[in-house]
Amino acid sequence: MMPSALIADDEPLLASHLASRLQALWPTLQLVATVHNGLDAVAALAQHQPDFAFLDIRMPGLTGLQVAAAAGRTRVVFVTAYDEYALAAFSAAAVDYLTKPVDDARLALCVARLQQSVRPDVDLAALLAQLQRPATQTLSWLSVGLADTTRLIALDEVVYFEASNKYTDVVTASERHLIRTSLKELLPQLAPDRFAQVHRGLIVNLTAVAKIQRDLLGRQFIHLKQRSEVLPVSRSFAAQFRQM
């Protein structure tokens, strides 16, 4: 019997990309369902009882971890855009996982592991508790997608972060990348002596600031050393720059 799998991801393009790469790397794998929320994922698991399930961690309705609790004998692979702290939790729990954007080399390694008969025992409750625990260390780098590759960007390279719906733009001196982490989630993981929130939608690397300019109305604007855009400082965050 051919092995079977389902994919659950709330972003149709990413789900479609993963499906096409799986077909290329594992031609005998039968894709029985592609769904875009946690509730549909649980229903698809019950209906098809696939051998494998590729579950996005963050989905409407139910998270990938909640869906995995109903997976039964289905072997789960979590697909995630979590940061390095959370990935360490996945590794410690011996969980199969893929990071977004998924690259062929990492997917091929995952496929090879799934084709083995050994199924790791996973304590989902312990993993969930670990993921919900605040990180004890600040981030030192970020993983971002660039074409068909995954790149590491040192935090020192980041000029500022800008909110983009539920995502965040990571802006360096010459590039702009999108990560699937909100500013609210990102801020506690940044060194407070290096990064400051200056607006509801902006976090700035203080070492990248050239000057703070005030207009006649008392509004503050940040001029950067390596980029031409001027960033606004909202009144609720203005106090931290009064001595600059």
Q: Residue count of the chain, please give it.
A: 244
pLDDT tens, residue by residue, 42-72? 999 999 999 999 999 888 888 888 888 888 8
Q: Model pTM greater than 0.85?
A: no
- SS3 assignment, position 110: helix
- DSSP per position, 13-61: HHHHHHHHHHHHH-TT-EEEEEESSHHHHHHHHHHH--SEEEEESS-SS
Closest-CA residue to 151 (of 160, 161, 142, 140): 142
Distances (CA, A) of 82 to 96, 131, 193: 14, 10, 23
Alpha-carbon distance of 244 to 107, in angstroms, equals 48
Which positions ≥6 away from 166 have C-beta within 8 Å?
180, 182
What pLDDT shows up at residue 165? 80
Residue at 219: amino acid letter: R
DSSP per-residue codes, 76-104: EEEEE---HHHHHHHHHTT-EEEESSP-H
Task: Report the mean per-residue pLDDT for the chain.
Answer: 84
**pLDDT > 90? residue 203:** yes
- In whole angstroms, what is the distance from residue 64 CA to residue 59 CA? 7
- Tell whether the model's pLDDT for residue 244 goes beyond 60: no
pLDDT tens profile 21-44:
999 999 999 999 999 999 999 999
pLDDT tens figures, 135-146: 445 678 888 876
CA angle 165, 61, 143 (to 5 degrees): 45
> Which amino acid belongs to residue 136?
T
| 8 A C-beta contact, residue 25 and residue 104 | yes
**Section 196-225 average pLDDT:** 91
* Better pLDDT: 149 or 104: 104
CA 131 to chain centre: 13
Domains parsed from the chain with CATH numbers: 4-132 (3.40.50.2300), 141-241 (2.40.50.1020)
- Binned at pLDDT 50, 70 and 90, residue 123 comes out as low
Categorise residue 85: left if φ over 0, alpha if ψ from -120 to 50, beta otherwise.
Answer: alpha
